[in-house]
Structures are given as C-alpha cells and as structure tokens.
A and B are shown apart, each in its own frame.
Chain A
C-alpha cells in the first residue's frame, strides 16, 4: 500500500472521528461534563437512517434531513431528561459522567431490543470503488471527507461569527459571568446538545452507508472521539478536530506497519500518553485561565 493510500484512509476515518469529537468537545466546553452517551447519538442516527431508508422507503435526501433533526432533538432529550435534573440537584460532574456511561449502555441495549442483534447493511451505489494509479477510494468516502471538512468549517464559522456561537464561547469561558449579564445558559446547553448530536448523526449516517450497523459502534466511536479530543484539547473544538485527524493518521500508519489488530492499542496508547504528559492537549491550553 502506498503512502498516499494511508493518508486517504487516515482522512476518511479521521473525518468520522472528528464529527464525533467536535460535538463531544462542544458539549464539554459549554456544560463542563463528559457526555460519553454522545456515542449513542451516532448509533441512533444510523438505525433511524436504516429505518427511514430501508424499511419506510423514504427518499434518500429526506431521510438524511429527517434523521439529522431527530438526532439533534435526541441530544436535547438526553440533556432534559437525564442531565438537567441531575444538575438541578447539584450533582457533581463525576456523577454526570457516570450517568452518561449508563445512558450509553441503556440505549445500546434498547436498540438491540428493538432492532435485534443481526447485522444490518444498507446497499448503496456510492460504495463502488474508483481506482486511481496510487490509491483506491469510493465516492462515499470522497463525500465523507469533503462534507466533513465543510461541516467543520461551518461549525467554526458558527462559533466565531454568530451570536449563538459567541454565547456558547462565553458560557464555556465563564458561566457565572454569562448568567450575570443575562445570557440564558440553559438555551446555550440546548444548542450545544442539538448541534453536537446532529454532527454525530452525520457520522452515524456515513457509518451506516460505509459499514454495517451494530449497536456497539457507539462505544467504539465515542472512545475514539474522546481520544481525539484529548489529543487536540478537549476544551477546544478546533483542537478536538485536529486531534481526531492525528488519531486517524496514527491508526492507519499502525495498521500498515504493524497489523490491523493494533488499531485500538495505538489509540489507547496515544490517549494514555496525552493524559499523562499533555492533559490539556495540543490546542486546549486554556488560554488566560490562571488556576
């Protein structure tokens, strides 16, 4: 396999990780707790997509839009039903983290119950590979890379140029001050859960088309998304995106030089090393916060 193929593969997987990681980090920075149940948004989206497209035979584009909106709303639902009441009772962030793992397992099992454990696939013309001289790629994979980059750019613009983005950055920066000056941080939480879950939903749709559907992909992806966030800096959305691509590259070089069995080992080694030596990540330096 040529170097260029490794890079292409890294970009594909890195894009999927980045879609998961940026939402995770967005939710973390505005809410200050780790939403590990974020992984289930990916799974919900892929199963809803299967349901809409294969079972209900709804048009492809409409299915996508429908699934994304529902997944975003599912994010708000998780916040309202699980985290909101806990926060109201002033539960610590550790409690919220444990709850998030519980939510992940709960919904994973519910999906198994509803859809069964048999592997499901969605057939698509988009997965017929195109051969270039030095690498192979499918149209879907091109779409994955390009749309992810566009979406991540849009997210960046949303954060930098819009009022809601500015309010999200403000709440993430100084929640107490934000509420003193009249920013509704509940609303900011809803927005971050909606946007974050929607982006995870996009990853879910891509995965449904690219691979087979399994309830457990959520756990795998949130672990990778989390690793990407830690590498790049969990408090920084651009950082978590960068970290995700770095993780993608590291994994694919690992697969090439070692074997595919080492993929997860590489991810966990990186996670461990960063937690140990650079817990703020590459970009999450927490500028200006002197603790």
Chain B
C-alpha cells in the first residue's frame, strides 16, 4: 500500500534520513521504533510532505505522492496524528472533530463524528468541553478521532502513547489493534518498543537516519532490541 524507496529527507539543507526503505501492506500495523532524534517523526513528516524530501520516492497504491499537498494526501486517504500539541486546546471537543476535512459534506461528517463517539464514548460525554480539559488519554482519542473523520485508509500515528499511564497505554494499543481489525492500515511511531513490536505485524528500527533492523514479532529476541531493554525504554 505504501512504499518508501531510498528516501533522503530533512529540514532546510540538513539531511536527517539517509536512504530509507519501508514497505507497508494493506491492513498491517507497522511499528517504527528508535532512539530520540533518530528521525522517526521525520519519516512520517516526509510522507505527509512537511519535511523536505531531497531524493527517493514515496508511493501510495502505486501512485507517487512525494510532492502532494497536505489536503491532497488527506483526500487520497492518509491521515496524520502528530506528536506534541495534537489538539486545538481552546476549541471544544466537537469543534476539534469538525474542523478541517473540508471536502466532506456535513451529513457525512456528522455521521462519522457519531462513529467516533461510538468508538470513544467519553468524547461524546465531553463534546462541549474545551479540549484542554481532557486527560492525556482522552486527548489522544480526540486526535485519533479527528484523523478518522477523513475515513483514512492509512493512519500515521506519531508516539500516541506519550505521557499516558501504563493502563491507558494498554487501552490505546487495544484501540489501535481494533482500528486495524476495522480495516485500517497503521504506521505507528513508538518509544515503547516492546508494546509496539507486540501489536505490529512488522517493525522497523531506525537509528541515525537509517533502518538498522527490521522483522516480525521475533525481533523482540534480537540482540539489538534486547540491549534496548537493558535501558528500559529508549
């Protein structure tokens, strides 16, 4: 579904990714792990055309999407939940779900918002509250919810478990598996390598802008990954 071929990318002249190949098949969860600053977010930003791709190409269903604009990518069915401040703090939960996605008519949008409310009932409960009053986990649900309004085929998640308690993390990973079972393809960037490897169909380990290791769940046993665990999380 998504093919990244020999991708070189970075930020105004600064090369971060030095030739990356990633392959994602339909209805897979692909995990991208690696230490801070490895370039994980840059991979996702390159797909979403926010980072500066210098060479290589990105194909989505065989179509070259390397130079497409944000809204064109969204129309094709790619949604992105970024890392950091992921919601509009001073907009209500409902407004956070309504905003953007301008290519969708109101009736369809309302229907999809209700679908998100079914998936995350707590959002419905708090629909008129401002987003900053939500807990960390609810914030993640809201951001994922907004990404789902586009009815994406491919969902890019950048460290969704960041700042969540272990219990909420567990719930979040369950949700992600559920989304996959509903037919979504998901690329997830995670610091929590163990959890990510466990739910992913395949995992890529990124180090210093290069893919250092790739494999299925069995890479948990790999020396490199084990070393990581000696230090706990990355």
Q: Could you list which residues of chain A lie within 8 angstroms of chain B, going by C-beta atoms?
A: 166-167, 169-170, 173-174, 176-183, 287-289
A sample of 14 cross-chain residue pairs with beta-carbon separation below 8 angstroms, ordered by A number, consists of A167-B99, A169-B88, A169-B90, A173-B89, A174-B88, A177-B82, A180-B48, A181-B70, A181-B99, A182-B71, A183-B100, A287-B90, A288-B89, A288-B132
For A287, the chain B residues whose CB sits under 8 A away are 89-90, 130, 132
- Counting from the closest, the 9 A-B pairs by CB-CB distance are A288-B132, A181-B100, A288-B89, A182-B71, A173-B88, A170-B88, A173-B90, A182-B70, A182-B100
| Min CB–CB distance B130 → chain A (angstroms) | 7
Establish whether residues A181 and B146, one from each chain, have CB atoms under 8 Å apart when the complex forms. yes
A180 in contact with B80 given A167-B99, A174-B88 (CB within 8 Å):
yes
Contacts of B70 in A (CB 8 A): 179-182
Complex CA distance for A173 and B91, rounded to whole angstroms: 8
Min CB distance A144 to B, Å, is 31
Q: How far does the alpha carbon of A179 sit from the alpha carbon of B88 in the complex, in Å?
A: 12
A182 and B76 CA atoms in complex are apart in Å by: 13
Chain B: minimal CB distance from A181 (Å) = 3
Cα–Cα distance between A173 and B92 once the two chains are bound (Å)? 12
Interface bracket on B: 20 to 34
Secondary structure type dominating chain B contacts: loop
Docked CA distance A2–B86 (Å): 54
| B87 in contact (CB, < 8 A) | yes
Residues on the A chain within 8 Å of B95, using CB? 166
- Whether B213 sits at the interface, judged by CB under 8 Å, is no
Which of A169, A177, A178, A181 has the most chain B CB within a 10 Å cutoff? A181
Q: Determine the chain B residues whose CB is within 8 A of the CB of A170 once the complex forms.
A: 88, 91, 99
Alpha-carbon gap, A176 to B89, bound state (A): 13
In the bound complex, residues from chain A placing their C-beta under 8 Å from that of B86 are: 177
Return the contact of A180 from the options B82, B90, B101, B102 (Cβ within 8 A): B82
A169 neighbours in B (Cβ, 8 Å): 88, 90-91
A25 to B48, CA, bound (A): 32
A287, B80: Cα distance in complex, Å: 25
Q: How far is the CA of A176 from the CA of B87 in the complex (A)?
A: 10
What is the chain B residue whose CB lies nearest that of A235? B90
How near does chain A come to B110, taking the closest CB pair, in angstroms?
Answer: 14
B contacts, CB < 8 Å to A: 48, 50, 70-71, 74, 80, 82, 85-91, 95, 98-102, 130-133, 146
Residues of A within 8 A of B130 (CB): 287-288
Cβ A183 vs Cβ B99 within 8 A? yes
Other than the known A173-B90, A288-B131, what 12 A-B pairs have Cβ atoms closer than 8 Å?
A166-B91, A167-B99, A170-B91, A170-B99, A173-B91, A177-B85, A177-B87, A181-B99, A182-B71, A182-B74, A182-B100, A182-B102
Q: Smallest CB–CB gap between B90 and chain A, Å?
A: 5
Which residues of B have CB within 8 Å of A166?
91, 95, 98-99
Chain B residues near A288: list those with CB within 8 A.
89-90, 130-133
Query: When chains A and B are docked, how far (Å) is the Cα of A287 from the Cα of B92?
Result: 12
Q: In the complex, which of the residues B50, B95, B100 has the most CB atoms of chain A within 10 Å of its own CB atom?
A: B100
A284, chain B: closest CB distance, angstroms: 11
Question: In the docked arrangement, what's the CA distance between A178 and B99, Å?
Answer: 9
Among the interface residues A169, A176, A177, which one has the most CB atoms of the partner chain B within 10 A?
Answer: A177
Chain A residue with the shortest CB-CB distance to B74 = A182
Which A-chain residue is minimally distant from B132 (CB atoms)? A288
B contact residues around A177 at 8 Å (CB): 82, 85-88
Q: How far, in whole Å, are A289 and B89 apart by their CA atoms in the complex? A: 7
User: How far is it, in angstroms, between the C-alpha of A166 and the C-alpha of B70 when the chains are bound?
Assistant: 20
B80 (CB) vs chain A CBs: closest residue: A180
The answer for the CA separation of A159 and B89 in the assembled complex, in Å, is 16
A170 (CB) vs chain B CBs: closest residue: B88
Task: Report Cα–Cα, A166/B131, bound state, in Å.
Answer: 14
B148 to chain A, nearest CB (A): 12
A182 (CB) vs chain B CBs: closest residue: B71
| Contact (Cβ within 8 A) B89 A174 | yes
